[in-house]
């Protein structure tokens, strides 16, 4: 992972953050992308309890769709029953390409995707004084961008709050999440893959253990267990304080989807549910 010096905040911010990884992490063609996302969501539709509550928060993976798209879809599809009332989706993911202090926003009014632009909720961002603009950190960041086509298809009318996390403490991230928690109109999505480049069986064992820790909310995850561990830990901190419970929705790795078994990347989807949560 390359790290670069933190650039000064730009004086003139872009009106839109262009899609940077369309054509690599997911299809660039609007027609193909729409069909791809819709198929992933269709295959991920829950087949069990039709009265399953809608999660307040999700953890989703962020690799290329051929690898983790089906796992991500298993989480995103759970928001569909509440699409009519969801007005805002808070996206938090790790900054992979630029060194970042704290939690940063893209400094843009729109997030562009091949499926259309998403409105950034600038008013919500302005509520959190610890968040500052860093267009450079967002320019090539995939951990948030790969979630946008799912958001566009599942909750198309929602505004987005895209936040990249760099060097930050659990308490700092938890403060941001708590500040933006809102009510039924707001949902939280933390973007993170799990273990990286381990042999298949080793990764499966470690990821199962990580999933158990997430569901139990019994401690902080170290970096080796999840690249977005800071966001995951911040969400767990708030969820534990608010009395939420967690379910594992899907747990696989690249060896199960589109890769070999020599060095796999783990993917998990998790739903966080408020006590007495309804189906919408």
SS3 of the chain: helix, strand, coil, percent, to 5: 35, 20, 40
Instruction: Give the model's pLDDT for residue 8.
Output: 41
**Rounded Cα gap, residues 21 and 24, in angstroms:** 5
Distance CA 180, CA 189 (A): 12
d(CA 190, CA 272): 11
Q: Kindly report the average pLDDT of the chain as a whole number.
A: 93
Pairing of strands 186-191, 245-253: unpaired
Q: Where are the alpha helices (DSSP H) in 81-189?
A: 122-126, 135-139, 142-145, 148-154, 170-179
Is pLDDT above 60 for 195? yes
d(CA 101, CA 166): 5
* Longest Cα separation, the chain: 51
Question: How far is residue 79's CA from residue 271's CA, in Å, rounded to a whole number?
Answer: 10
Q: Which CATH code is given to the segment(s) 23-45+53-273?
A: 3.40.830.10
Which tens digit of pLDDT belongs to each residue from 108-123? 999 999 999 999 999 9
Angle between helices 229-242 and 170-179 (to 10 degrees): 60
pLDDT computed for residue 214 by the predictor: 97
CA-nearest of 230, 213, 225 to 93 is: 230
Report the distance separating Cα 28 and Cα 186, nearest Å.
28
**What does the pLDDT look like over 6-65, one tens digit per residue?**
334 444 556 999 999 999 999 999 999 999 999 999 999 987 655 789 999 999 999 999
Are the C-beta atoms of 204 and 181 separated by less than 8 Å?
no
The residues spanned by each domain of the chain are 23-45+53-273
pLDDT in tens, 227-250: 999 999 999 999 999 999 999 999
- Tokens 């999660």 belong to 55
pLDDT at 70 over 90: yes
What are the residues facing 208 on neighbouring strands? none
Q: What is the pTM of this model?
A: 0.92
């Amino acid at each position: 992972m390359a790290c670069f010096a933190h650039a000064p905040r730009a004086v003139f911010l872009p009106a839109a953050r262009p899609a940077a990884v369309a054509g690599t992490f997911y299809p660039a063609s609007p027609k193909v992308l729409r069909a791809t996302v819709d198929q992933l969501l269709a295959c991920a539709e829950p087949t069990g309890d039709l009265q399953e509550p809608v999660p307040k928060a999700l953890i989703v993976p962020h690799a290329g769709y051929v690898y983790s798209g089906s796992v991500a879809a298993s989480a995103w599809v759970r928001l569909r029953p509440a699409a009519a009332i969801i007005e805002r989706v808070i996206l938090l993911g790790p900054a992979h390409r630029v060194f970042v202090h704290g939690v940063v926003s893209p400094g843009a009014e729109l997030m562009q995707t091949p499926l259309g632009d998403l409105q950034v909720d600038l008013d919500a961002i302005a509520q959190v004084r610890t968040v500052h603009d860093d267009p450079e950190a967002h320019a090539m960041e995939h951990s948030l961008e790969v979630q946008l086509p799912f958001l566009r298809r599942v909750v198309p009318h929602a505004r987005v709050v895209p936040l990249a996390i760099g060097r930050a403490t659990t308490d700092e991230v938890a403060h941001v999440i708590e500040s933006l928690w809102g009510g039924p109109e707001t949902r939280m999505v933390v973007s993170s893959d799990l273990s990286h480049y381990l042999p298949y069986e080793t990764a499966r064992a470690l990821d199962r253990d990580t999933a158990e820790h997430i569901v139990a909310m019994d401690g902080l995850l170290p970096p080796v267990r999840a690249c977005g561990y800071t966001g995951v830990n911040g969400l767990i901190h708030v969820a534990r304080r608010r009395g939420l419970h967690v379910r594992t929705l899907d747990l696989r790795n690249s060896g199960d989807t589109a890769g070999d078994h020599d060095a796999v990347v783990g993917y998990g989807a998790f739903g966080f549910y408020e006590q007495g949560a309804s189906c919408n």
